[in-house]
Structures are given as C-alpha cells and as structure tokens.
Amino acid sequence: MLQIKNLSKNYEDLKVLEQIDLEIESNKTTVIIGPSGSGKTTLLRCLNLLAIPDIGEIDLNGVSLTFDPNQPLQKRKILDYRKKTGMVFQSFHLFSHRTVIENIMEGPVTVLKKGKADAMAEGMALLKKVGLEDKANQYPRQLSGGQQQRVAIARALAMKPEVLLFDEPTSALDPELEIEVLEIIRALAKEHYTIVIVTHKMTFAKEVGDNIIFLENGRILKQGSYAELYHSGNERINRFLTTLQ
C-alpha cells in the first residue's frame, strides 16, 4: 500500500498540490484524472520523488518518508525509495546512446549491481513480454513511438518496482500506436501490478481503473470507481467524464 498523507507542493507562490490524502492499494490500478494544470503530473512526480514534496508523508509498504522544508530528506533515502518505484514518461525518455536491451539492463546492472548475464536474460524476458525481443540490439531512434514506450515500460519493470507510475503514457502517440501501449498496461493491470496512471483516456480509465481520483486545483475533488464518480452528482466531474469519452 502506498499512503500519502497531507502532501503539499508549491512552485514558489503557486500551490500545485494542497494537502493531498490518498491511499493507493497494492495490486490495483489507480487512475488520476483532472483538467490541465490540476497537479496530476506533479502528484505522480512526487510519488517518484522527481519532485520533492514540501510537506507531508509518503509511506510505501511500511517504509515511510516525511517531508519537512526545514529538514531536507537524506539522499540515501530518496535513492532507496526511487528503486522501489518505476516511472514511465509521456515522451519515453529512452537513453538514446544505448540499445534497447542496454536501456533495460541499465538499472539492474548500475543500480542493483546485478551480473550482466542475469540482467540480459531478465531483460530479454521483459522484451518478450512487451513483444519486442527482435528489437533488442536496435537503438531507440530506430523504433516507432509505440515501440519506444513499450521499451520504456520494460525498463521500468526491470527494477521490479513495488509500484508502477505512468505519466500520460500514450499522449505522444497516434491512435494506432496508442493501442499497443494500452494493451501492455491492460495486461500489467490484469497481472495485478500496483499501477498509478495519469491519463486523459476516459474509456481506458473506466476499463482498468479500480479507483479513480479526480484532481482539480491541486486538491482531490472526488475519488472512487468510475460509476461512483459518474453518479456522484457533481456537475464538474460529469462534464469532464462525458466530454472526454
């Protein structure tokens, strides 16, 4: 379980996240939705500590981090926490000087100090899982956007994270390529990975989301199943859900 307590994040005077309280259940898929600028991506980046919250607490399966502006977190703690979370970015961000398999092996070899042979075998298995074992020795620039994102998913999985974070994973893809990436995420959800996904795809949110969080102006306006949100009687949410079908 990933617990977020009283988490706030400001960028100078701009309040991006305000007193977020949230419980993300293990082995479930949590979807974060909301209008642009509502703080979705910042919330996700806080869950990976790419953005450090100003105040609050994050507890991942019993390991707790407390944020306090007067007491910066130890680097060691940040690094240990990041090893347990996997992040998939909107624009893939594969290492462009490394081949596909090297991208996937990078974390296990450099961070987890795994042997190269083991990391390679595990990497190939992950590539098979995302259907790209024939691309192992190609460079990212030789792949389509959808393929790059599938490699990025494999790279995140290689760290065997306790939670997988997706930041609008299909926003940079055309509809045809989108399908192949969504299929992988759907499969991971079925395998009961703990997933947090920021998306604008409402149909997908409805399909895979066990819990849907509606964020607005840095606060959680409502959360629950799709049906609960839909029938919440909140006009703002209804308009959002129906216009973005």
Residues that bind another protein (CB under 8 A): 48, 50, 75, 79-80, 82-83, 85-87, 89, 91, 93-97, 106-107, 110-112, 141, 152, 155-156, 158-159
92 vs 240, beta carbon nearer another protein: 92
CB of 151 to another protein, least distance (A): 11
Q: Are strands 2-11 and 14-24 parallel, antiparallel or unpaired?
A: antiparallel
Could you tell me the smallest distance in angstroms from the CB atom of residue 140 to another protein?
10
Sheet holding 195-198, edge to edge: 85-88, 163-167, 195-198, 29-33, 211-216, 219-224
Residue with tokens 């599938």: 150
Distance CA 110, CA 27 (A): 28
> Considering beta carbons, is residue 34 or 107 the nearer one to another protein?
107
| C-alpha span between 201 and 24 (Å, rounded) | 20
At its nearest, how many Å lie between another protein and the CB of residue 237?
A: 31
Q: Which is nearer to another protein, 193 or 240 (CB)?
A: 193
Q: How far is the CB of 97 from another protein (least distance, A)?
A: 5
Between 75 and 235, CB nearer to another protein: 75
Rounded to a whole number of angstroms, the minimum distance from the CB of residue 235 to another protein is 37
Whole-number Cα distances in Å, 168 to 14, 51, 132: 23, 17, 21
Q: Give the span between the Cα atoms of 128 and 135, in whole angstroms.
A: 10
If the CB atoms of residues 111 and 187 are measured against another protein, the closer one turns out to be: 111
* CA dist., res. 45 & res. 52, Å (int): 8
